[in-house]
Amino acid sequence: MTVLVLGGTAEARALAAALVHAGRDVLTSLAGRVQNPALPPGRVRVGGFGGVNGLAAFLRSDRVTAVVDASHPFADRIGANAVVAAEQTGVPLLRLERPGWANHLRAGGWTWVADVEAARAAADGYTRPFLTTGRQSLATFLPWADRAVLARVVDPPEFALPGRWTLISARGPYAYAEERRLMTEAGTEVLLTKDSGGTPTAAKLDAASDLGIPVVVIARPPRPAGVATVSSVAEALTWPALA
């Protein structure tokens, strides 16, 4: 039995660890976007499969018996590919997705938008934004070259950022006190984030709300319907194809 975990998240690493502990053959797949990724226990492969057909061929050639898509909530292309490849090959597919922040106590006070462009439009009236929407979104904000943008990403982008911007390369988790100090010192006027969910990066939401800083949240992209979905590693381990 070989379980393919589509990874790139803390949940994917935790699931791989639990399956390895249970004696399963686990292969975690990473896209290869991050320079020094945190590696899970078990086998690891890096790089794209080559679309749906490449993934389906991989499932067959590597005799994968179950797939868990534990990729990030915003990694919607690999998620969609997994659905089609699983259908084509008959390999069972489970989606493991951490809960979003829609039920956060402060969520009602935030501005929810559909995508990165809408986030820029929603925060356009501010001169000192704090961008935590990810490296892949930074190009959308380049028209803000004249603003004192604070941008936090895991790895720096491959292109130069405007001279007025401050870039922080860091990986969570982040504590409330640090987030509050960072936004206070930067004079942050608005926080922009994706609805990544989970706890490691959630302290910024409380810190911003306590400081009276508006929060703009990009909602998660839609997912194909009809896929068995769980929100925790413990639940995933009860899925029949893994139990």
The Cβ-side half-sphere exposure at 8, using a 13 Å CA radius, reads: 23
Which residues 6+ apart lie within 8 Å of 143 measured at CB? 120
- Does position 9 interact with ligand NAP (CB under 6 A)? The reply is yes
Nearer to ligand NAP, 7 or 214 (CB): 7
Among 7, 40, 42, 214, binds ligand NAP (CB under 6 A): 7
Q: How many residues bind ligand NAP (CB under 6 A)?
A: 23
Among 19, 49, 126, 193, binds ligand NAP (CB under 6 A): 49
Give the binding range for ligand NAP (CB under 6 A) out of 23-31, 87-95, 96-104, 223-231.
Answer: 23-31
Nearer to ligand NAP, 69 or 179 (CB): 69
Site for ligand NAP in 102-161 (CB under 6 A): 134
Among 30, 91, 93, 242, binds ligand NAP (CB under 6 A): 30
Nearer to ligand NAP, 72 or 147 (CB): 72
Residue 178 tokens, joined: 């640090």
Contact between residue 27 and residue 4 where contact means Cβ atoms under 8 Å apart: yes
Instruction: Enter the DSSP assignment of 204.
Output: H
Nearer to ligand NAP, 14 or 55 (CB): 55
Give strand pairing partners of 69.
Answer: 6, 95
**Alpha carbon distance 117, 121 (integer Å):** 6
Local structure of 158: helix, strand or coil = coil
Strand order of the β-sheet with 25-30 is 43-46, 25-30, 2-6, 66-69, 93-96, 228-230
Supply the minimum distance, in Å, between the C-beta of residue 228 and ligand NAP.
18
- Does position 193 interact with ligand NAP (CB under 6 A)? The reply is no
Among 31, 116, 151, 216, binds ligand NAP (CB under 6 A): 31
- Interface mask toward ligand NAP for 205-224; x: CB under 6 A: --------------------
Site for ligand NAP in 78-97 (CB under 6 A): 78, 81
Contact between residue 233 and residue 139 where contact means Cβ atoms under 8 Å apart: no
Buried b (16+ CB within 10 A) or exposed e, 208-219: bbeeebbbbbbb
Supply the minimum distance, in Å, between the C-beta of residue 193 and ligand NAP.
11
Residue whose token pair is 């993934």: 55
Site residues, ligand NAP (CB under 6 A): 6-9, 29-31, 33, 48-51, 54-55, 71-72, 74-78, 81, 134
